[in-house]
Amino acid sequence: MKTAIYPGSFDPVTLGHLDIIQRACKVFDELVVAVLVNPEKHTAFSIEERLAFLKRATAEIGIQNISFVGFEGLLADYAHRCGIHIIVKGLRALSDFEYEFQMALTNRKLNPDLETMFFTTSAENMYLSSSMVKQIAGFDGDISNFVPECILSDLKKRLYTGGRLG
């Protein structure tokens, strides 16, 4: 059985993330979506909220061969402990590749059994990022075309400012 891990902050999950999840689930027997606790990132949502959003969004589109985990620490170590040998990463633009290529080489140095597979995003999601969603929402802009509908009201409650900046 081939299992892969798709790591990210998912703060919040976007339609671009779901695109990569759906496509990876077609390739692998199981996909573990790993929500990272990254001390360098200030997140708008707790790890529990991000996991709940992912579960709701993937259940709504009927994905079965998926599991979710929150973790802290090195991805290479976590994958080794779980016996996972494949990392799934989504690429939006050439600038993503440079950073992700460095990460793939570093992870492989830390865990020689670990491979990284890159999935290019669909054209309609090339510009989309969680940061952009949060920025648009911070100005009370319409984010409905960027995030799963089932979590939209939760995101608005937290991110919309009611006309106030920040």
Q: Which active-site residues does the annotation give?
A: 17, 41, 92, 130
Distance CA 156, CA 43 (A): 15
- Is 153 annotated for ligand binding? no
Specify the 3-state DSSP secondary structure of 69.
strand
Is residue 138 marked as binding?
A: no
Tell me how many helices (H) and strands (E) the chain has: 6, 5
100 annotated as belonging to a binding site for a ligand = yes
89 is in an annotated binding site: yes
On whether 17 is known to bind a ligand per the annotation, the reply is yes
Residue the block writes with tokens 């509908």: 149
Locus of tokens 């409905």: 144
Is 10 annotated for ligand binding?
Answer: yes
Instruction: Find the Cα–Cα–Cα–Cα dihedral 90, 107, 37, 151, rounded to 10°.
Output: 20
Cβ proximity of 7 and 34 under 8 Å: yes
Q: Is residue 134 a known part of a binding site?
A: no
Q: Find out whether 6 is annotated in a ligand binding site.
A: no
Question: Is 157 flagged in the annotation as binding?
Answer: no
**Angle at Cα 95 formed by Cα 42 and Cα 133, nearest 5°?**
40
Residue numbering of the annotated binding site for ATP? 9-10, 17, 90-92, 100, 125-131
Instruction: Could you list the residues known to form a binding site for substrate, using ranges.
Output: 9, 41, 75, 89
Binding-site positions: 9-10, 17, 41, 75, 89-92, 100, 125-131
